[in-house]
Every structure is written in structure tokens, then in C-alpha cells.
Amino acid sequence: MVFSLLRQRALLFFRPKQRRDRPFRAWRYRCRAVPVRLSGRLFLTALLLTVWTCAHAVAAPPAITVDIAGDLTEQQRQNIHSHLSLTRFPDNETPSEAVFNRLYGKARPEAAKALEPFGYYTPDITTSQWSQNGSRHVEIKVAAGPPVTVTEVTIALSGPGEQDAALKEAIRRFPVHRGDALNHQIYEDGKDKLVTAALENGYHRAAFRNNRVAISRKTLSASMRLNLDTGPRYLVGPLTFDTDVIDHELLRKISPVREGDPFSPRALTRLRQSLFNVGYFKTVDLEYDPDRAVAGRVPVRVALTPNLTHKYGIGLGYGTDTGARGTLEYTNRLVNRFGHQLDIQLQPAQWKSNLGGTYTIPIGDPRKDRLALTGKYETEEFDNTDIKTLNATVSHDHFREWGEYSTYAQFLDERYSIGAGGTAQDSLVVPGFKGSVFWADDRITTKRGIRFTATVIGSEENVLADTTFLQSTLRTKAIYTFFDQWRLLGRGEIGTTLVDDIYALPPTLRYYAGGDQSVRGYGYKKIGPVDAGGNILGGKNLLTYSVELERSLFDAWSGAIFYDSGSVMNDFSETTFHSGAGVGLRWNGVFGQIRLDVAKSLDEDGSWRVHFTMGADL
């Protein structure tokens, strides 16, 4: 009696978890513990019974197994499976003969009904069934037959928007045409796109007044007749901003929506996102009511909550090109009501430190056009070179969806010493242009994309400069994903300088190679022409390239192998490449990748070098 009681309790609390979505695979069951106090033999008996019950549940085959055969797409097969009453019968119960016969009798009409959304109304379906090892097996053989053909597609517009050119174009792009095989999903998607087009053009109450698909099973034909009643058109009315911390004219420049634009969900979303993304506001709420429209124009009130004006940041880090470093940062998001911003940063580091600030003035939309005033003092040590640089820059920056570009003028004052030589100082006013274009599915985590960046700078000796020169640099990076788990990454850089004597320019205007972003396996700026003492001087011309193969491992981790090579020379005829190769580990986050590489020079004796970087792919 005790054994019977325990078995009943075990069967009650260790009930197998049903899995109805995968009837063709062995089921997995989950057991959960029950706080029953047992001792001695009773405990051992309960434990053994529990193991036996779970093992029996795992081994037990499903009560009904269904196999669907025929020349079907996976989507068609899954739709038939989901329509069958047989597949919804509990797996841990044995059907009676009457119940099974009732479910089995429904199989043919249910399978036929499941094919209708795909345009097949006259399928040939046969069923068979047998018993084996206490389980019922059912086979359904399906021949879909010829599909229904669309013989007529008539779409009409009515209401105030019946002559709207945008809606007529949407009708022209309707995805179902005469002669197509009928597919109800494509038809429904086309209807949704028509309604969406009406909403985007301000027809807030658009709806189908006639929506009919007539199907003839005899002739296997279908005719479609739709009538879209557009209803009245709504436009954006007076746009008002509920804030006094920032100039309303600037907010109108930021807003992508103007009075008189079609009143649509997309327009409202763009308005909200544009105002939120500039960083001035903590919240952006829109208030509107189409029922209060005046002459079809809907007033929109924008309620804005200011963001915190002052922002402080502190951080510690390490870069193999800079050494250990710290960061102190202060940002004033809103210096005045005209949207000016100030950012000051102190970054002390082992080999490269700087103190600088940037004052930005919006020109129109601050996310797209701005004037930036930048000042920076920087010290840098590498090899036997010691540099102290003071620069001030005025730039006009433009940001677009396809790229960004800037025109600027920079004042550069640089004191430096190389090796045992004395200290030199150069001062120049350097105008320049820098632009980038990119095409990518995602710039943070890129599957396919490419970026080009070009820079042109120069100075004239007779115009506030010690030296005349012209320098241009082109950088590119491309990423291509194949077989889902593999990525091929390539990058290259080429630069040249037109100057009588490259060593009349300060080191920051010369080319070097080596380091995390250049040729891994070499130290930072370790590649370049040298003097008699072996000190690296930098050069007039640069050529580098890199090839990397990356494979996903698990979760957010991936591994990579790579080969880098580069050369710095004063004449392209003197090109001698220095190469490095290695392996790396990657962790992919929402901000980009954290990359840890181990590389070795292939041209010189030396130990393996560690390279650590982080950031977006493009």
C-alpha cells in the first residue's frame, strides 16, 4: 500500500512536460522536486521510483506520430501540420479507438484546408495508419495539384484621395498581377502596403469598403476586387514647442516635419526621434488629436523635458599604443538657448597624453551641420621621439546618412626632439578637407559594408607657415560575411606628401606604420626610415594593408587570424614591406567589438606582441 501511494504521488508531481510543437522528435521531459519527507527504505524506494518514472517518461514514444509526404515547401508542410487535430492530441495519453478514428477522419479535409492559403484548392490527399509498439502512426501523402490562377485584379480608390499620385503609384506596385498563382499571404501583404501608403500620405481613416476574392474551383481561377476609401486627408498643423530653455527657431530647424506635411505615424516618429537624438532633452512627448483638425490641419504640441545640463565622466583603460591611461571629461549639453555645447577632456596616459576641449555651434540641425572650435595640448613619446603639440582648429562639419565631411583650418605649433638631436620647433597654419563615405548594413556590427576616408591637407610657406607641403591620404576598410559564421575583413591605406624636405615638417605630419591600427606584430610607429643612430624619423609616403578572417565561436565570441603588412618610404622605389601575423579573440557588444590580438613580426626577430582595441566595425 505504501508503494502504491508513493507511486501515485510520484506520477502526480513528476508529470512529463508536453511538447506539442515537434511531434516528429523524441520528447524531452522535465521533472521537478517535491518536498516530501522520507527516511530509510521509504526514501530509497521513492528515489528509485522517481528515477524509473522519469526514465519511463523520456523513453515513452508519442501516442500519435504523423508523417506528411509529398512535393511541398517547408512552409506548406508546417501549415498542414499545425492544422491537423491529430498533432494536437496530448502525447502522454493513449486515444481510444473512437477518438482516434474521429481525429483520423478529419485529417484529409484539414490538410486540404491548410493548402488553400497557398492557392491549392484541388489537392489529391491519401491517408494511411498503423499501430506499432503501442503508438499510432499516420502517413498523409499530398499532391498539391495545379494552383488557382489570378485572372482579374481590380483596385479602385474612392474619397478625397482618389486622384492622389502617391496612392496610384502604390496600386501600381501591388504585388499580385493577372496570371500569377494565387497566394493569400502575398495578397494580404499587398493590402497592408496600400493602407500603409494611405496613412503615410495623411489619410488617417483609410479603409477597404469592398474586399472580395472570388474563387472558382471549377476553372481554378480567382478574381480580386478592392476598393480603398481614403477618407479625408490630414496635414500637420501649427507646430508648437513647450519649452523655454532653447530657441524655438532652432527646434524648427531640427524638426524634419513642417506645417503642411502629411500627418502620418512616420512623420510623428521622425519628429520625436530627431528632437530626442540631439541630446538636449530627456523626454519628448507629442500631443495631437485629429478630431480637432481645422481645415484638415492637425495642431501638434511638443512637450519637452530638458536633459541634465552638466555631464561628468571618469574612466581608466589601457591601450597598447598609449599604455595605461585615465580619462576625465566634462560636457555642458546646453551652454545657451541657441544650442551651443562644450566638451572638455583630460586624458593622461603612459606614452600619449592630452588636454583639450571642443565648443560646437549648430548651423541648422546640429546633428547634420555644425561649427566646431577645438583646442588641444598633447604630449607623445615613442621610440626615441618626444613631441609636444599645441593646436587650434576651426572646422565646419557635415553629417549625412551616407557619410560625413569637414573643411577646416588648423594652427599647429610643435616642439620635438628625435634621438640625441636637439629640440626643434615648427609652426604652421594647415587648411584641410576630410571626408568619409560608407555603405553598410550596420556600422556597429557589420556583415557587409565598406568605408572610404580621404584627407587632403597642406600649407604655404608665405602664409603663416614655416614649410610648403601638400599631403593626401586614402584609407579603406571592407567587410564581407559568408556562410553566416565567417567574416572576411580587409583594410588598406596609401598616402603621399609633396614637399622639398620631409624633415622640415614636424613628426605629426610625417607617416609612420606599426601598432594596433596599422601593422600588428610591430610596436607603435616602429616602421619608417631611420637615421644613422637607428632613430625612426618618419617618411613621405605610406602603404599598408591587412587581411583578416574571423569566425563565430559561441554566443558573442569569435576568433580571428590575420596578416598585416606595410611600408613607409621617402620614394616609392624604396618600398620594403614589413609584415606581421597572428591570432585574435573577439567579443561582440552593442557598442562594437573588444579585440585582443597576439601577433609577431615576420621580418625581424622578436617576441610576440599583444594588441588591444575596441570600437565599431566601420
CATH architecture observed for domain 64-143: Roll (3.10)
d(CA 65, CA 100): 12
pLDDT higher than threshold 70 for residue 21: no
Question: How many C-beta atoms surround the C-beta of residue 599 within 10 A?
Answer: 22
The reported pLDDT for the residue numbered 364 is 79
d(CA 349, CA 90): 66
- Strand 149-158 versus strand 221-229 pairing type: parallel
CB 569 within 8 A of CB 529: yes
Grade residue 30 by pLDDT with cuts at 50, 70 and 90. Answer: very low
- Strand 341-347 versus strand 352-362 pairing type: antiparallel
Residue with grid cell 530653455, as numbered in its chain: 245
CB 543 within 8 A of CB 451: no
pLDDT higher than threshold 50 for residue 1: no
pLDDT higher than threshold 60 for residue 37: no
d(CA 9, CA 96): 26
d(CA 76, CA 140): 13
- Which tens digits make up the pLDDT trace of 142-189? 999 999 999 999 999 999 999 999 999 999 999 999 999 999 999 999
DSSP letter string, 462-526: TTTBSS-EEEEEEEEEEEEEETTTEEEEEEEEEEEEE-S-GGGS-GGGSB-B-STTS-TTS-TT-
CB 280 within 8 A of CB 302: no
pLDDT higher than threshold 80 for residue 550: yes
The reported pLDDT for the residue numbered 220 is 94
d(CA 75, CA 118): 10
The reported pLDDT for the residue numbered 46 is 52
Sequence-distant (6+) residues with CB within 8 A of 559 are: 550, 551, 553, 583, 584, 585, 586
d(CA 62, CA 95): 11
d(CA 99, CA 106): 11
CATH topology identical between 235-306 and 428-615: no
Longest dimension (CA), the chain: 110
Looking at residues 63-87, what average pLDDT do you find? 92
pLDDT higher than threshold 60 for residue 34: no
CATH assignment of 428-615, given 3.10.130.10, 1.10.260.40, 2.40.160.50, 3.40.50.720? 2.40.160.50
DSSP H/E element including 240: strand 235-242
Residue with grid cell 590580438, as numbered in its chain: 597
The reported pLDDT for the residue numbered 119 is 94
Q: State the amino acid at position 492 in one-letter form.
A: G
Superfamily of domain 149-229: membrane protein fhac (3.10.20.310)
- Which tens digits make up the pLDDT trace of 239-272? 999 998 999 999 999 999 999 999 999 999 999 9
DSSP H/E element including 269: helix 265-277
CATH assignment of 235-306, given 3.40.630.40, 3.40.640.10, 3.30.56.10, 3.10.20.310? 3.10.20.310
pLDDT higher than threshold 80 for residue 226: yes
Task: Return mean pLDDT, the chain.
Answer: 88
Grade residue 514 by pLDDT with cuts at 50, 70 and 90. Answer: very high
Of 195-204, 340-349, 361-370, 388-397, least confident by mean pLDDT is 361-370
- Which tens digits make up the pLDDT trace of 92-137? 888 889 999 999 999 999 999 999 999 999 999 999 999 988 788 9
Of 309-323, 328-342, 547-561, least confident by mean pLDDT is 309-323
Looking at residues 301-327, what average pLDDT do you find? 89
| Of 538, 536, 450, residue with least CA distance to 497 | 538
The reported pLDDT for the residue numbered 7 is 39
Grade residue 5 by pLDDT with cuts at 50, 70 and 90. Answer: very low
Show me where the domains of the chain are located. 2-59, 64-143, 149-229, 235-306, 428-615
DSSP letter string, 513-576: B-STTS-TTS-TT-BS-B-TT--B--BSEEEEEEEEEEEEEETTEEEEEEEEEEEEESSGGG--
Grade residue 49 by pLDDT with cuts at 50, 70 and 90. Answer: low
d(CA 179, CA 153): 10
Q: State the amino acid at position 120 in one-letter form.
A: Y
d(CA 559, CA 561): 7
The reported pLDDT for the residue numbered 134 is 78
Label residues 107-126 b or e (16+ Cβ within 10 Å = b).
Answer: beebbbebbebbbbbebebe
d(CA 441, CA 449): 7
The reported pLDDT for the residue numbered 55 is 45
The reported pLDDT for the residue numbered 273 is 93
Looking at residues 501-530, what average pLDDT do you find? 94
The reported pLDDT for the residue numbered 45 is 54
d(CA 37, CA 13): 14
Q: Is 133 left (phi over 0), alpha (psi -120 to 50) or beta?
A: left
Residue with grid cell 557588444, as numbered in its chain: 589
DSSP letter string, 47-111: HHHHHHHHHHHHHPPPSEEEEEESS--HHHHHHHHHH-SGGGS-TTSPPPHHHHHHHHHHHHHHH
- Which tens digits make up the pLDDT trace of 195-207? 999 999 999 999 9
Grade residue 4 by pLDDT with cuts at 50, 70 and 90. Answer: very low
d(CA 359, CA 342): 5
